[in-house]
Amino acid sequence: MALTDRQSTSLLAIDPKLPMAPQIYGNIRQSILNLRLAPKQALSEKELALMLGVSRTPVREALIKLAEDGLVDIFPQRGTFVAPIRVSEVLEAQFIREALEVSVVARVAELSDPAISARLRESLARQKRAADNGDLDGFLAEDENFHFILSVSVNLTRAWKVIQNVKGQLDRVRVLSLPEPGHLTELYEQHMAIVTAIESGNAKVAKKHMAKHLQQVFRTIDSLLAKRPEIFD
């Protein structure tokens, strides 16, 4: 199927005043993560440039960055394709994220700064509201923000960037996990446990809760391998 056959409204939200390459990167990345661009689908510089109303150069730069994220595969002189979901890479992304976030949360717990705790509590309140309303998108956004607060509050912005990069592999799996009832509340309670451990200054417990929290993906991978085999490898 040709790219231009698809509806592409969100792909057109480009502000010509801002640098285009990062915008294009974010745009295509989002489309890959929510699977509007399906795994294994061909992407071409020329066609994307046409769709987005820009030249091929910034598109090319965006695709290179996506290739570093492992979200597209570039085969020189052959073509560029949305990367299939490779279980091994998803598992490795989980490993990297867990290693980093567990270390981050330990540092946060050791600091035990009331100001940080306050920000986390505010995030928790917003999460609860979203969970109660069944607002999936709102909850996911606040979930992202929760983890962002942890890294940035202890001045680990680059660690956050790394987490963000590898998290792409995980997000693509997560959107496929059907939003089961009570799932959001479950995640909220895990976050709550982490914050409680942080506030008690217990780094060891905080690490344990964080690790368990992040290992949730394992469950969704198993169910997906059975349900949607075509998007893998």
Main-chain phi, psi angles of 215, to 5 degrees? -80, 5
CB of 75 to DNA, least distance (A): 6
Per CB under 8 A, 162 contacts a copy of itself: yes
Tokens 């285009």 correspond to what residue? 20
Among 70, 84, 138, 168, binds a copy of itself (CB under 8 A): 70
Q: Out of a copy of itself, DNA, none, which partner does residue 95 contact, by CB within 5 to 8 A per kind?
A: a copy of itself
CB of 3 to a copy of itself, least distance (A): 23
Exposure string over 58-86, b if 16+ CB within 10 A, otherwise e = bbbbbbebbeebbbbbeeeeeebbbbbbe
CB of 99 to a copy of itself, least distance (A): 4
The neighbour count for residue 20, using CB atoms within 10 Å, is 21
CB of 159 to a copy of itself, least distance (A): 5
Stretch that binds a copy of itself, among 1-9, 88-96, 125-133, 139-147 (CB under 8 A): 88-96
Q: Out of a copy of itself, DNA, none, which partner does residue 93 contact, by CB within 5 to 8 A per kind?
A: a copy of itself
For residue 8 the two structure tokens come to 């592409």
For residue 213 the two structure tokens come to 């929290």
Instruction: Note whether 45 and 67 are within 8 A (CB).
Output: no
Is the sign of the CA dihedral 20, 23, 25, 31 positive or negative?
A: negative
Contacts with DNA, residue ranges (CB under 7 A): 19-21, 42-47, 49, 54-58, 60-61, 64, 74-80
Main-chain phi, psi angles of 81, to 5 degrees? -135, 145
Main-chain phi, psi angles of 28, to 5 degrees? -65, -40
Per CB under 8 A, 108 contacts a copy of itself: no
Q: Out of a copy of itself, DNA, none, which partner does residue 77 contact, by CB within 5 to 8 A per kind?
A: DNA
Give Dmax (Cα) for the chain.
Answer: 57
Q: How many residues bind a copy of itself (CB under 8 A)?
A: 28
Task: Annotate each residue in 17-36 with x if it binds a copy of itself (CB under 8 A) or - if it does not, as one string.
Answer: --x-----------------
Among 59, 100, 173, 198, binds a copy of itself (CB under 8 A): 100
Per CB under 8 A, 92 contacts a copy of itself: yes
Residue 81 pairs with which residues in a beta bridge? 42, 73
Q: Out of a copy of itself, DNA, none, which partner does residue 46 contact, by CB within 5 to 8 A per kind?
A: DNA
Complete edge-to-edge strand list for the sheet that includes strand 42-43: 42-43, 79-82, 72-75
Residue 75 pairs with which residues in a beta bridge? 79
Q: Which residues bind a copy of itself (CB under 8 A)?
A: 19, 57, 61, 64-65, 68, 70, 76, 88-89, 92-93, 95-96, 98-100, 102-104, 107, 155-159, 162, 166
